[in-house]
Chains A and B, each alone.
Chain A
Amino acid sequence: MLHLTIFLIFGAVCVAGAVNLLVQRHPINSALSLIVVMASLAVEYLLLGAEFVAAVQVIIYAGAIMVLFVFVIMLLNAGEEERTKGSRVAMIFGIPGMLVGSGLVAWVLLERSGTHAVEAGALPGPPKTIAWLLFHEFLLPFEVTSVLVLIAIMGAVVLAGHSDSGGPAKKEG
Protein backbone atom coordinates (compact mmCIF):
# COMPACT_ATOMS: atom_id res chain seq x y z
CA MET A 1 0.00 0.00 0.00
CA LEU A 2 2.76 2.40 0.96
CA HIS A 3 4.63 1.42 -2.19
CA LEU A 4 1.60 2.11 -4.34
CA THR A 5 0.99 5.50 -2.72
CA ILE A 6 4.57 6.61 -3.26
CA PHE A 7 4.49 5.21 -6.77
CA LEU A 8 1.40 7.24 -7.62
CA ILE A 9 2.79 10.40 -6.03
CA PHE A 10 5.99 10.22 -8.02
CA GLY A 11 4.07 9.28 -11.15
CA ALA A 12 2.09 12.48 -10.72
CA VAL A 13 5.30 14.47 -10.11
CA CYS A 14 6.76 12.96 -13.26
CA VAL A 15 3.77 13.91 -15.42
CA ALA A 16 3.63 17.38 -13.85
CA GLY A 17 7.33 17.85 -14.65
CA ALA A 18 6.75 16.75 -18.22
CA VAL A 19 3.87 19.18 -18.67
CA ASN A 20 5.87 21.97 -17.07
CA LEU A 21 8.71 21.18 -19.48
CA LEU A 22 6.41 22.01 -22.37
CA VAL A 23 4.73 25.00 -20.79
CA GLN A 24 7.81 26.85 -19.53
CA ARG A 25 9.15 29.52 -21.84
CA HIS A 26 12.70 29.71 -20.59
CA PRO A 27 14.98 26.88 -21.74
CA ILE A 28 16.65 26.58 -18.33
CA ASN A 29 13.30 26.05 -16.61
CA SER A 30 12.44 23.40 -19.17
CA ALA A 31 15.78 21.69 -18.56
CA LEU A 32 15.16 21.71 -14.81
CA SER A 33 11.69 20.23 -15.33
CA LEU A 34 13.31 17.47 -17.35
CA ILE A 35 15.59 16.77 -14.38
CA VAL A 36 12.51 16.44 -12.18
CA VAL A 37 11.08 13.97 -14.70
CA MET A 38 14.31 11.93 -14.70
CA ALA A 39 14.57 11.93 -10.91
CA SER A 40 10.97 10.85 -10.37
CA LEU A 41 11.43 8.12 -12.99
CA ALA A 42 14.42 6.94 -10.95
CA VAL A 43 12.20 6.73 -7.87
CA GLU A 44 9.66 4.69 -9.87
CA TYR A 45 12.38 2.26 -10.92
CA LEU A 46 13.50 2.01 -7.32
CA LEU A 47 9.96 1.21 -6.19
CA LEU A 48 9.74 -1.52 -8.83
CA GLY A 49 12.84 -3.09 -7.32
CA ALA A 50 15.34 -2.06 -9.99
CA GLU A 51 17.79 -0.35 -7.65
CA PHE A 52 20.73 -0.42 -10.04
CA VAL A 53 18.76 1.07 -12.92
CA ALA A 54 17.44 3.75 -10.56
CA ALA A 55 20.94 4.71 -9.42
CA VAL A 56 22.25 4.72 -12.98
CA GLN A 57 19.29 6.81 -14.09
CA VAL A 58 20.22 9.48 -11.56
CA ILE A 59 23.97 9.34 -12.23
CA ILE A 60 23.83 9.27 -16.03
CA TYR A 61 20.70 11.18 -16.97
CA ALA A 62 20.12 13.59 -14.13
CA GLY A 63 23.77 13.97 -13.12
CA ALA A 64 25.69 13.96 -16.39
CA ILE A 65 23.55 14.45 -19.47
CA MET A 66 21.32 17.13 -18.03
CA VAL A 67 24.36 18.96 -16.65
CA LEU A 68 25.59 19.18 -20.22
CA PHE A 69 22.16 20.45 -21.34
CA VAL A 70 22.23 23.15 -18.68
CA PHE A 71 25.86 23.86 -19.56
CA VAL A 72 24.98 24.44 -23.22
CA ILE A 73 22.01 26.63 -22.33
CA MET A 74 24.26 28.71 -20.07
CA LEU A 75 27.01 28.85 -22.66
CA LEU A 76 24.72 30.04 -25.45
CA ASN A 77 22.93 32.29 -22.97
CA ALA A 78 19.67 31.29 -24.59
CA GLY A 79 16.93 33.77 -23.83
CA GLU A 80 13.21 33.37 -23.46
CA GLU A 81 11.44 31.64 -26.25
CA GLU A 82 9.26 33.85 -28.41
CA ARG A 83 5.69 32.70 -28.29
CA THR A 84 3.65 32.82 -31.43
CA LYS A 85 -0.09 32.45 -31.29
CA GLY A 86 0.20 28.97 -32.71
CA SER A 87 -2.45 27.18 -34.62
CA ARG A 88 -5.88 27.38 -33.08
CA VAL A 89 -6.78 24.02 -34.60
CA ALA A 90 -3.94 22.45 -32.61
CA MET A 91 -5.32 23.94 -29.40
CA ILE A 92 -8.88 22.86 -30.03
CA PHE A 93 -8.31 19.41 -31.45
CA GLY A 94 -4.76 18.56 -30.41
CA ILE A 95 -5.04 18.59 -26.61
CA PRO A 96 -8.36 16.70 -26.35
CA GLY A 97 -7.15 14.37 -29.08
CA MET A 98 -3.97 13.65 -27.16
CA LEU A 99 -5.90 13.02 -23.94
CA VAL A 100 -8.33 10.67 -25.68
CA GLY A 101 -5.44 8.90 -27.43
CA SER A 102 -3.45 8.30 -24.27
CA GLY A 103 -6.59 7.22 -22.43
CA LEU A 104 -7.26 4.73 -25.21
CA VAL A 105 -3.70 3.38 -25.15
CA ALA A 106 -3.85 3.00 -21.36
CA TRP A 107 -7.19 1.21 -21.57
CA VAL A 108 -5.97 -1.17 -24.27
CA LEU A 109 -2.80 -1.93 -22.35
CA LEU A 110 -4.65 -2.56 -19.10
CA GLU A 111 -7.66 -4.45 -20.36
CA ARG A 112 -7.05 -5.97 -23.76
CA SER A 113 -3.37 -6.82 -24.12
CA GLY A 114 -3.46 -9.83 -21.83
CA THR A 115 -0.49 -8.53 -19.82
CA HIS A 116 -0.58 -7.87 -16.12
CA ALA A 117 0.62 -4.93 -14.11
CA VAL A 118 3.81 -5.91 -12.29
CA GLU A 119 3.62 -5.91 -8.52
CA ALA A 120 5.89 -3.33 -6.97
CA GLY A 121 9.22 -4.93 -6.16
CA ALA A 122 8.37 -8.14 -7.99
CA LEU A 123 11.27 -8.00 -10.44
CA PRO A 124 14.49 -7.41 -8.55
CA GLY A 125 17.32 -6.14 -10.74
CA PRO A 126 20.59 -6.56 -8.87
CA PRO A 127 23.73 -5.48 -10.79
CA LYS A 128 24.81 -9.11 -11.25
CA THR A 129 21.70 -9.98 -13.23
CA ILE A 130 22.00 -6.87 -15.36
CA ALA A 131 25.68 -7.50 -16.00
CA TRP A 132 24.93 -11.10 -16.97
CA LEU A 133 22.26 -9.97 -19.42
CA LEU A 134 24.44 -7.23 -20.89
CA PHE A 135 27.61 -9.26 -21.28
CA HIS A 136 26.15 -12.65 -22.20
CA GLU A 137 22.73 -12.65 -23.72
CA PHE A 138 22.76 -9.19 -25.24
CA LEU A 139 26.48 -8.83 -25.86
CA LEU A 140 26.16 -8.15 -29.58
CA PRO A 141 23.46 -5.45 -29.32
CA PHE A 142 25.43 -3.92 -26.45
CA GLU A 143 28.63 -3.69 -28.47
CA VAL A 144 26.79 -2.46 -31.56
CA THR A 145 25.23 0.30 -29.47
CA SER A 146 28.65 1.36 -28.26
CA VAL A 147 29.82 1.62 -31.89
CA LEU A 148 26.72 3.68 -32.60
CA VAL A 149 27.62 6.05 -29.77
CA LEU A 150 31.15 6.28 -31.15
CA ILE A 151 29.76 7.27 -34.55
CA ALA A 152 27.66 9.95 -32.89
CA ILE A 153 30.73 11.31 -31.10
CA MET A 154 32.71 11.36 -34.35
CA GLY A 155 29.84 13.16 -36.04
CA ALA A 156 29.84 15.77 -33.29
CA VAL A 157 33.61 16.24 -33.66
CA VAL A 158 33.29 16.65 -37.43
CA LEU A 159 30.47 19.16 -37.07
CA ALA A 160 32.25 21.12 -34.33
CA GLY A 161 35.54 21.11 -36.21
CA HIS A 162 33.95 22.45 -39.39
CA SER A 163 35.98 25.57 -40.05
CA ASP A 164 36.37 27.97 -42.96
CA SER A 165 39.80 26.58 -43.89
CA GLY A 166 38.19 23.32 -44.99
CA GLY A 167 40.49 20.92 -43.17
CA PRO A 168 39.99 19.73 -39.62
CA ALA A 169 40.28 22.72 -37.35
CA LYS A 170 43.09 22.94 -34.87
CA LYS A 171 41.84 22.46 -31.36
CA GLU A 172 42.81 25.23 -29.06
CA GLY A 173 44.33 24.62 -25.67
Chain B
Amino acid sequence: MLSVGTFVLISIIKIVIALIVLLTAVAYTVWLERKVVGHIQNRWGPTRVGPFGLLQPLADGVKFIFKEDLTSPHVYRPLYIAAPMISLIFALTSIAVIPVGNWVTVGGIHTPLQITDVNMGLLIVLGITSMGVYGVALAGWSSNSKYSLLGGLRASAQMVSYEVSLGLSLIGVLIMAGSFSLRDIVDAQGGAYWHVIPRWNIFQGQIFAFFIYLTAAFAETNRIPFDLPEAETELVAGYHTEYSAMKFAMFFMAEYANMITVACLASLLFLGGWHGPLFGPAWLQAILPLFWFALRIFGFLFVYIWVRGTLPRFRYDQLMAFGWKVLLPLAIANLMITGLIVALKS
Protein backbone atom coordinates (compact mmCIF):
# COMPACT_ATOMS: atom_id res chain seq x y z
CA MET B 1 0.00 0.00 0.00
CA LEU B 2 1.17 3.49 -0.74
CA SER B 3 1.04 6.22 1.83
CA VAL B 4 -1.48 9.00 1.24
CA GLY B 5 1.21 11.54 0.41
CA THR B 6 2.84 9.34 -2.22
CA PHE B 7 -0.54 8.45 -3.66
CA VAL B 8 -1.53 12.10 -4.05
CA LEU B 9 1.85 12.99 -5.53
CA ILE B 10 1.73 10.13 -8.06
CA SER B 11 -1.84 10.98 -8.98
CA ILE B 12 -0.97 14.63 -9.59
CA ILE B 13 2.03 13.67 -11.72
CA LYS B 14 -0.10 11.27 -13.75
CA ILE B 15 -2.90 13.81 -14.20
CA VAL B 16 -0.47 16.49 -15.38
CA ILE B 17 1.23 14.14 -17.84
CA ALA B 18 -2.10 12.82 -19.15
CA LEU B 19 -3.48 16.32 -19.62
CA ILE B 20 -0.36 17.57 -21.40
CA VAL B 21 -0.31 14.56 -23.71
CA LEU B 22 -4.04 14.81 -24.38
CA LEU B 23 -4.01 18.53 -25.15
CA THR B 24 -0.96 18.16 -27.41
CA ALA B 25 -2.68 15.27 -29.14
CA VAL B 26 -5.77 17.44 -29.60
CA ALA B 27 -3.69 20.24 -31.14
CA TYR B 28 -1.86 17.88 -33.48
CA THR B 29 -5.04 16.06 -34.46
CA VAL B 30 -6.23 19.39 -35.82
CA TRP B 31 -2.96 19.73 -37.72
CA LEU B 32 -3.27 16.14 -38.99
CA GLU B 33 -6.82 16.76 -40.10
CA ARG B 34 -5.90 19.89 -42.06
CA LYS B 35 -2.93 18.13 -43.63
CA VAL B 36 -4.79 14.93 -44.59
CA VAL B 37 -7.92 16.68 -45.83
CA GLY B 38 -5.66 19.02 -47.76
CA HIS B 39 -3.92 16.14 -49.49
CA ILE B 40 -7.25 14.41 -50.19
CA GLN B 41 -8.39 17.60 -51.90
CA ASN B 42 -5.12 17.95 -53.78
CA ARG B 43 -3.89 20.85 -51.65
CA TRP B 44 -0.92 21.12 -49.29
CA GLY B 45 -2.65 22.05 -46.06
CA PRO B 46 -0.69 24.22 -43.61
CA THR B 47 2.93 24.68 -44.77
CA ARG B 48 4.03 28.15 -43.67
CA VAL B 49 4.50 27.95 -39.90
CA GLY B 50 7.47 25.69 -39.17
CA PRO B 51 8.56 22.64 -41.17
CA PHE B 52 5.49 20.94 -42.73
CA GLY B 53 3.37 23.50 -40.90
CA LEU B 54 4.13 21.68 -37.65
CA LEU B 55 3.94 24.85 -35.58
CA GLN B 56 0.49 25.69 -36.96
CA PRO B 57 -1.36 24.51 -33.78
CA LEU B 58 0.76 26.93 -31.77
CA ALA B 59 -0.09 29.79 -34.11
CA ASP B 60 -3.77 28.81 -33.95
CA GLY B 61 -3.67 28.83 -30.15
CA VAL B 62 -2.07 32.27 -30.04
CA LYS B 63 -4.65 33.52 -32.51
CA PHE B 64 -7.55 32.17 -30.43
CA ILE B 65 -6.22 33.89 -27.33
CA PHE B 66 -5.74 37.27 -28.99
CA LYS B 67 -9.00 37.32 -30.95
CA GLU B 68 -11.72 39.64 -29.78
CA ASP B 69 -14.18 37.80 -27.59
CA LEU B 70 -17.55 38.93 -28.90
CA THR B 71 -20.67 38.29 -26.87
CA SER B 72 -23.90 39.31 -28.51
CA PRO B 73 -26.20 41.27 -26.19
CA HIS B 74 -29.17 38.94 -26.44
CA VAL B 75 -27.56 35.78 -25.04
CA TYR B 76 -28.49 34.22 -21.69
CA ARG B 77 -25.17 35.01 -20.12
CA PRO B 78 -24.59 32.48 -17.29
CA LEU B 79 -25.27 29.45 -19.45
CA TYR B 80 -23.64 31.01 -22.51
CA ILE B 81 -20.38 31.22 -20.59
CA ALA B 82 -20.80 27.87 -18.84
CA ALA B 83 -21.63 25.83 -21.96
CA PRO B 84 -18.14 25.68 -23.55
CA MET B 85 -16.64 24.90 -20.16
CA ILE B 86 -19.09 22.04 -19.61
CA SER B 87 -18.21 20.66 -23.04
CA LEU B 88 -14.47 20.81 -22.47
CA ILE B 89 -14.52 19.57 -18.87
CA PHE B 90 -16.48 16.44 -19.70
CA ALA B 91 -14.41 15.84 -22.83
CA LEU B 92 -11.18 15.92 -20.83
CA THR B 93 -12.44 14.04 -17.75
CA SER B 94 -12.94 10.66 -19.35
CA ILE B 95 -9.18 10.23 -19.89
CA ALA B 96 -8.96 9.64 -16.11
CA VAL B 97 -10.10 6.03 -16.33
CA ILE B 98 -8.54 5.08 -19.67
CA PRO B 99 -5.56 2.75 -19.29
CA VAL B 100 -2.71 3.24 -21.75
CA GLY B 101 -0.46 0.36 -20.75
CA ASN B 102 0.51 -2.26 -18.20
CA TRP B 103 1.68 -1.74 -14.66
CA VAL B 104 5.13 -0.19 -14.36
CA THR B 105 7.59 0.07 -11.51
CA VAL B 106 9.38 3.42 -11.32
CA GLY B 107 11.71 4.08 -8.39
CA GLY B 108 10.23 1.24 -6.34
CA ILE B 109 6.64 2.37 -6.82
CA HIS B 110 4.36 -0.05 -8.65
CA THR B 111 1.61 1.81 -10.48
CA PRO B 112 -0.68 1.29 -13.48
CA LEU B 113 -0.28 3.48 -16.58
CA GLN B 114 -3.66 5.01 -15.93
CA ILE B 115 -4.78 7.85 -13.70
CA THR B 116 -7.12 5.63 -11.74
CA ASP B 117 -8.01 1.97 -12.13
CA VAL B 118 -11.70 1.49 -11.34
CA ASN B 119 -13.99 -1.50 -11.75
CA MET B 120 -16.61 0.55 -13.55
CA GLY B 121 -14.20 2.11 -16.04
CA LEU B 122 -16.35 1.65 -19.12
CA LEU B 123 -19.56 2.80 -17.45
CA ILE B 124 -17.81 5.89 -16.13
CA VAL B 125 -16.61 6.80 -19.63
CA LEU B 126 -20.13 6.32 -20.97
CA GLY B 127 -21.58 8.41 -18.15
CA ILE B 128 -19.15 11.24 -18.69
CA THR B 129 -19.64 11.31 -22.45
CA SER B 130 -23.40 11.32 -21.99
CA MET B 131 -23.06 14.39 -19.76
CA GLY B 132 -21.13 16.12 -22.55
CA VAL B 133 -24.39 16.62 -24.43
CA TYR B 134 -25.32 19.42 -22.08
CA GLY B 135 -22.49 21.61 -23.29
CA VAL B 136 -23.77 21.49 -26.86
CA ALA B 137 -27.46 21.66 -25.96
CA LEU B 138 -27.05 24.60 -23.58
CA ALA B 139 -24.78 26.44 -26.01
CA GLY B 140 -27.51 26.18 -28.62
CA TRP B 141 -30.23 27.32 -26.27
CA SER B 142 -28.42 30.10 -24.42
CA SER B 143 -27.14 31.75 -27.62
CA ASN B 144 -30.72 32.81 -28.30
CA SER B 145 -30.31 32.51 -32.05
CA LYS B 146 -32.34 30.24 -34.27
CA TYR B 147 -29.36 28.61 -35.96
CA SER B 148 -27.80 27.83 -32.61
CA LEU B 149 -31.07 26.53 -31.21
CA LEU B 150 -31.60 24.23 -34.20
CA GLY B 151 -28.03 22.99 -33.86
CA GLY B 152 -28.47 22.37 -30.16
CA LEU B 153 -31.75 20.51 -30.67
CA ARG B 154 -30.25 18.37 -33.39
CA ALA B 155 -27.22 17.61 -31.29
CA SER B 156 -29.17 16.48 -28.25
CA ALA B 157 -31.61 14.38 -30.29
CA GLN B 158 -28.79 12.81 -32.28
CA MET B 159 -26.55 12.08 -29.33
CA VAL B 160 -29.33 10.52 -27.26
CA SER B 161 -30.43 8.37 -30.20
CA TYR B 162 -27.01 7.07 -31.10
CA GLU B 163 -25.94 6.56 -27.51
CA VAL B 164 -28.41 3.67 -27.32
CA SER B 165 -26.76 1.80 -30.21
CA LEU B 166 -23.31 2.73 -28.92
CA GLY B 167 -24.03 1.28 -25.50
CA LEU B 168 -25.64 -1.87 -26.89
CA SER B 169 -22.74 -2.50 -29.27
CA LEU B 170 -20.36 -2.52 -26.29
CA ILE B 171 -22.36 -5.06 -24.28
CA GLY B 172 -21.21 -7.90 -26.54
CA VAL B 173 -17.62 -7.14 -25.56
CA LEU B 174 -18.62 -6.91 -21.90
CA ILE B 175 -20.29 -10.33 -22.04
CA MET B 176 -17.13 -11.84 -23.50
CA ALA B 177 -14.82 -10.23 -20.95
CA GLY B 178 -17.20 -10.57 -18.00
CA SER B 179 -16.05 -7.27 -16.54
CA PHE B 180 -16.60 -3.52 -16.75
CA SER B 181 -12.96 -2.79 -16.03
CA LEU B 182 -11.15 -1.56 -19.13
CA ARG B 183 -7.95 -3.19 -17.92
CA ASP B 184 -9.62 -6.60 -17.55
CA ILE B 185 -11.17 -6.27 -20.99
CA VAL B 186 -7.76 -5.60 -22.53
CA ASP B 187 -6.14 -8.42 -20.56
CA ALA B 188 -8.79 -10.82 -21.85
CA GLN B 189 -7.63 -10.05 -25.40
CA GLY B 190 -3.98 -11.09 -24.95
CA GLY B 191 -2.39 -13.96 -26.86
CA ALA B 192 -3.16 -15.30 -30.31
CA TYR B 193 -4.84 -18.22 -32.04
CA TRP B 194 -2.21 -20.52 -33.60
CA HIS B 195 0.33 -17.74 -32.92
CA VAL B 196 -1.04 -15.80 -35.91
CA ILE B 197 -4.46 -14.28 -35.34
CA PRO B 198 -4.49 -12.12 -32.23
CA ARG B 199 -7.31 -12.66 -29.76
CA TRP B 200 -8.71 -9.19 -30.29
CA ASN B 201 -12.42 -8.87 -29.90
CA ILE B 202 -12.98 -8.04 -33.56
CA PHE B 203 -11.45 -11.42 -34.44
CA GLN B 204 -13.65 -13.10 -31.85
CA GLY B 205 -16.91 -12.35 -33.63
CA GLN B 206 -17.38 -8.78 -32.45
CA ILE B 207 -16.70 -7.34 -35.90
CA PHE B 208 -20.31 -6.22 -36.38
CA ALA B 209 -20.27 -4.64 -32.95
CA PHE B 210 -17.11 -2.82 -33.99
CA PHE B 211 -18.74 -1.28 -37.05
CA ILE B 212 -21.88 -0.39 -35.09
CA TYR B 213 -19.65 1.26 -32.50
CA LEU B 214 -17.70 3.07 -35.21
CA THR B 215 -20.85 4.47 -36.82
CA ALA B 216 -22.43 5.47 -33.52
CA ALA B 217 -19.18 7.05 -32.40
CA PHE B 218 -19.07 9.25 -35.49
CA ALA B 219 -22.56 10.44 -34.62
CA GLU B 220 -21.70 10.90 -30.93
CA THR B 221 -18.76 13.14 -31.74
CA ASN B 222 -20.74 15.13 -34.35
CA ARG B 223 -18.34 14.34 -37.13
CA ILE B 224 -19.04 14.15 -40.85
CA PRO B 225 -21.15 12.35 -42.12
CA PHE B 226 -23.20 13.03 -38.98
CA ASP B 227 -22.22 16.64 -38.32
CA LEU B 228 -25.82 17.86 -38.56
CA PRO B 229 -25.56 19.96 -35.37
CA GLU B 230 -23.08 22.28 -37.09
CA ALA B 231 -23.99 21.72 -40.74
CA GLU B 232 -22.46 24.92 -42.09
CA THR B 233 -24.43 24.93 -45.32
CA GLU B 234 -27.76 25.15 -43.52
CA LEU B 235 -27.10 26.34 -39.96
CA VAL B 236 -24.13 28.74 -40.40
CA ALA B 237 -22.18 26.92 -37.67
CA GLY B 238 -24.92 25.31 -35.60
CA TYR B 239 -24.59 25.43 -31.85
CA HIS B 240 -21.41 27.50 -31.84
CA THR B 241 -22.57 30.19 -34.27
CA GLU B 242 -22.48 32.91 -31.60
CA TYR B 243 -19.17 31.92 -30.08
CA SER B 244 -15.78 33.42 -30.80
CA ALA B 245 -12.19 33.38 -29.59
CA MET B 246 -11.37 31.04 -26.70
CA LYS B 247 -14.99 30.01 -26.11
CA PHE B 248 -15.17 28.70 -29.66
CA ALA B 249 -11.77 27.08 -29.20
CA MET B 250 -13.12 25.21 -26.18
CA PHE B 251 -15.84 23.58 -28.29
CA PHE B 252 -13.25 22.78 -30.90
CA MET B 253 -10.91 21.19 -28.35
CA ALA B 254 -13.82 19.27 -26.79
CA GLU B 255 -14.71 17.78 -30.18
CA TYR B 256 -11.17 16.58 -30.81
CA ALA B 257 -10.72 15.34 -27.24
CA ASN B 258 -13.92 13.34 -27.68
CA MET B 259 -12.55 11.89 -30.90
CA ILE B 260 -9.44 10.76 -29.05
CA THR B 261 -11.51 9.23 -26.23
CA VAL B 262 -13.58 7.34 -28.77
CA ALA B 263 -10.41 6.13 -30.49
CA CYS B 264 -8.99 4.99 -27.13
CA LEU B 265 -12.18 3.10 -26.31
CA ALA B 266 -12.28 1.43 -29.72
CA SER B 267 -8.66 0.32 -29.37
CA LEU B 268 -9.18 -0.97 -25.84
CA LEU B 269 -12.45 -2.76 -26.46
CA PHE B 270 -12.10 -4.14 -29.96
CA LEU B 271 -8.49 -3.94 -31.10
CA GLY B 272 -6.66 -5.47 -28.15
CA GLY B 273 -5.53 -2.29 -26.42
CA TRP B 274 -1.75 -2.21 -26.09
CA HIS B 275 -1.13 -5.83 -27.07
CA GLY B 276 1.37 -6.26 -29.86
CA PRO B 277 4.67 -7.95 -30.65
CA LEU B 278 7.33 -7.26 -28.02
CA PHE B 279 11.03 -7.57 -28.84
CA GLY B 280 14.42 -6.06 -28.12
CA PRO B 281 15.96 -4.98 -24.81
CA ALA B 282 13.96 -4.39 -21.64
CA TRP B 283 13.53 -0.64 -22.09
CA LEU B 284 12.12 -1.20 -25.57
CA GLN B 285 9.75 -3.85 -24.26
CA ALA B 286 8.49 -1.35 -21.71
CA ILE B 287 7.82 1.32 -24.32
CA LEU B 288 6.44 -0.85 -27.13
CA PRO B 289 2.93 -1.34 -25.62
CA LEU B 290 2.54 2.44 -25.45
CA PHE B 291 3.67 2.67 -29.05
CA TRP B 292 1.20 0.01 -30.23
CA PHE B 293 -1.61 1.74 -28.39
CA ALA B 294 -0.69 5.14 -29.87
CA LEU B 295 -0.47 3.56 -33.32
CA ARG B 296 -4.03 2.24 -33.04
CA ILE B 297 -5.30 5.63 -31.93
CA PHE B 298 -3.49 7.27 -34.81
CA GLY B 299 -5.04 4.80 -37.24
CA PHE B 300 -8.46 5.46 -35.83
CA LEU B 301 -8.07 9.23 -36.07
CA PHE B 302 -6.82 8.82 -39.61
CA VAL B 303 -10.00 6.89 -40.49
CA TYR B 304 -12.03 9.70 -38.91
CA ILE B 305 -10.33 12.27 -41.12
CA TRP B 306 -10.44 10.05 -44.16
CA VAL B 307 -14.21 9.66 -43.78
CA ARG B 308 -14.53 13.39 -43.35
CA GLY B 309 -12.71 13.95 -46.61
CA THR B 310 -14.81 11.36 -48.43
CA LEU B 311 -18.45 11.23 -47.39
CA PRO B 312 -21.16 13.84 -47.78
CA ARG B 313 -23.49 14.76 -44.93
CA PHE B 314 -26.66 12.80 -44.20
CA ARG B 315 -30.09 14.42 -44.35
CA TYR B 316 -31.57 14.79 -40.89
CA ASP B 317 -34.49 12.38 -41.29
CA GLN B 318 -32.11 9.82 -42.83
CA LEU B 319 -29.87 10.19 -39.83
CA MET B 320 -32.69 9.49 -37.37
CA ALA B 321 -34.14 6.65 -39.45
CA PHE B 322 -30.70 5.07 -39.75
CA GLY B 323 -30.05 5.32 -36.04
CA TRP B 324 -33.32 3.84 -34.86
CA LYS B 325 -34.31 1.51 -37.70
CA VAL B 326 -30.97 0.06 -38.81
CA LEU B 327 -28.28 0.52 -36.20
CA LEU B 328 -30.37 -0.26 -33.13
CA PRO B 329 -31.85 -3.56 -34.42
CA LEU B 330 -28.38 -4.61 -35.61
CA ALA B 331 -26.92 -3.85 -32.19
CA ILE B 332 -29.68 -5.81 -30.44
CA ALA B 333 -29.23 -8.76 -32.83
CA ASN B 334 -25.48 -8.74 -32.19
CA LEU B 335 -26.08 -8.66 -28.47
CA MET B 336 -28.51 -11.60 -28.57
CA ILE B 337 -26.26 -13.75 -30.76
CA THR B 338 -23.20 -13.03 -28.61
CA GLY B 339 -25.14 -13.80 -25.47
CA LEU B 340 -26.44 -17.05 -26.93
CA ILE B 341 -22.98 -18.21 -28.02
CA VAL B 342 -21.39 -17.33 -24.69
CA ALA B 343 -24.20 -19.09 -22.83
CA LEU B 344 -23.86 -22.22 -24.99
CA LYS B 345 -20.08 -22.28 -24.54
CA SER B 346 -20.13 -22.04 -20.77
Q: Which residue of B lies closest to A59 (CB)?
A: B127
With known contacts A52-B123, A64-B160, A173-B317, A74–B152 Cβ distance under 8 A: yes
**B321 contacts which chain A residues (CB < 8 A)?**
173
**B159 contacts which chain A residues (CB < 8 A)?**
67
Cross-chain pairs A/B with CB under 8 angstroms, 14 sampled: A52-B120, A55-B120, A55-B124, A59-B126, A59-B167, A62-B127, A63-B126, A63-B163, A67-B134, A67-B160, A70-B138, A71-B157, A74-B137, A173-B320
**A74 contacts which chain B residues (CB < 8 A)?**
137, 140-141, 149, 152-153, 156
Most buried by B among A28, A55, A62, A64: A55
Give the shortest distance, in Å, between B155 (CB) and chain A (any CB).
10
**A68 contacts which chain B residues (CB < 8 A)?**
160
Give the shortest distance, in Å, between B241 (CB) and chain A (any CB).
15
Contact A62 B131 (CB under 8 A): yes
Scoring B residues 144 to 169 as 1 if CB is less than 8 Å from chain A, else 0, what string do you get? 00000100110011011001000100
Contacts A67-B134, A70-B156, A71-B137 given; 4 further ones with Cβ under 8 A?
A: A52-B120, A58-B128, A67-B160, A71-B157
**B317 contacts which chain A residues (CB < 8 A)?**
173
Q: Which residue of B lies closest to A172 (CB)?
A: B317
**A173 contacts which chain B residues (CB < 8 A)?**
317, 320-321
Contact B120 A75 (CB under 8 A): no
Give the distance in Å from the alpha carbon of A69 to the alpha carbon of B55 in the complex: 44
Contact B137 A67 (CB under 8 A): yes
Q: Give the residues from 317 to 337 in chain B that come closer than 8 angstroms, CB to CB, to chain A.
A: 317, 320-321
Contact B131 A58 (CB under 8 A): yes
Question: Does B79 sit within 8 A of A, measured CB to CB?
Answer: yes
**A58 contacts which chain B residues (CB < 8 A)?**
127-128, 130-131
Query: Number of contact residues on B: which range applies?
Result: 20 to 34
Question: Does A35 sit within 8 A of B, measured CB to CB?
Answer: yes
For the complex, count residues of A whose C-beta is within 8 A of B. Answer: 24
With known contacts A51-B119, A55-B123, A62-B131, A75–B137 Cβ distance under 8 A: no
Contact B160 A51 (CB under 8 A): no
**A59 contacts which chain B residues (CB < 8 A)?**
123, 126-127, 130, 167
Give the distance in Å from the alpha carbon of A64 to the alpha carbon of B156 in the complex: 10
Question: Does A56 sit within 8 A of B, measured CB to CB?
Answer: yes
Q: Give the residues from 90 to 131 in chain B that come closer than 8 angstroms, CB to CB, to chain A.
A: 118-120, 123-124, 126-128, 130-131
Specify which of A70, A71, A127 is in contact with B180 (CB 8 Å cutoff): A127
Question: Does B133 sit within 8 A of A, measured CB to CB?
Answer: yes
With known contacts A58-B127, A71-B156, A63–B133 Cβ distance under 8 A: yes
Contact B138 A64 (CB under 8 A): no
Decide if the interface of chain A is mainly helix, strand, loop or mixed: helix
**A55 contacts which chain B residues (CB < 8 A)?**
120, 123-124, 126-127
Contact B153 A75 (CB under 8 A): yes
Question: Does A126 sit within 8 A of B, measured CB to CB?
Answer: yes
Name the 7 nearest CB pairs between A and B, nearest first: A63-B130, A55-B123, A58-B127, A173-B317, A59-B127, A74-B141, A71-B156
**B137 contacts which chain A residues (CB < 8 A)?**
67, 70-71, 74
**B118 contacts which chain A residues (CB < 8 A)?**
51
Contact B133 A67 (CB under 8 A): yes
Give the distance in Å from the alpha carbon of A52 to the alpha carbon of B126 in the complex: 13
**B131 contacts which chain A residues (CB < 8 A)?**
58, 62-63
Give the distance in Å from the alpha carbon of A68 to the alpha carbon of B156 in the complex: 8
Give the shortest distance, in Å, between B153 (CB) and chain A (any CB).
6
**B79 contacts which chain A residues (CB < 8 A)?**
28, 32
With known contacts A64-B160, A71-B157, A126–B119 Cβ distance under 8 A: yes
**A54 contacts which chain B residues (CB < 8 A)?**
120
**B156 contacts which chain A residues (CB < 8 A)?**
67, 70-71, 74
Q: Which residue of B lies closest to A65 (CB)?
A: B160
Give the distance in Å from the alpha carbon of A30 to the alpha carbon of B128 in the complex: 21
Q: Give the residues from 260 to 295 in chain B that come closer than 8 angstroms, CB to CB, to chain A.
A: none
Scoring A residues 102 to 127 as 1 if CB is less than 8 Å from chain B, else 0, what string do you get? 00000000000000000000000011
Most buried by A among B137, B167, B321: B137
Give the distance in Å from the alpha carbon of A71 to the alpha carbon of B149 in the complex: 10
Give the shortest distance, in Å, between A114 (CB) and chain B (any CB).
34
Give the distance in Å from the alpha carbon of A54 to the alpha carbon of B156 in the complex: 23
Contact B160 A28 (CB under 8 A): no
Give the distance in Å from the alpha carbon of A63 to the alpha carbon of B156 in the complex: 11
**B123 contacts which chain A residues (CB < 8 A)?**
52, 55-56, 59
Give the shortest distance, in Å, between B293 (CB) and chain A (any CB).
24
Give the shortest distance, in Å, between B69 (CB) and chain A (any CB).
24
Give the shortest distance, in Å, between B124 (CB) and chain A (any CB).
6
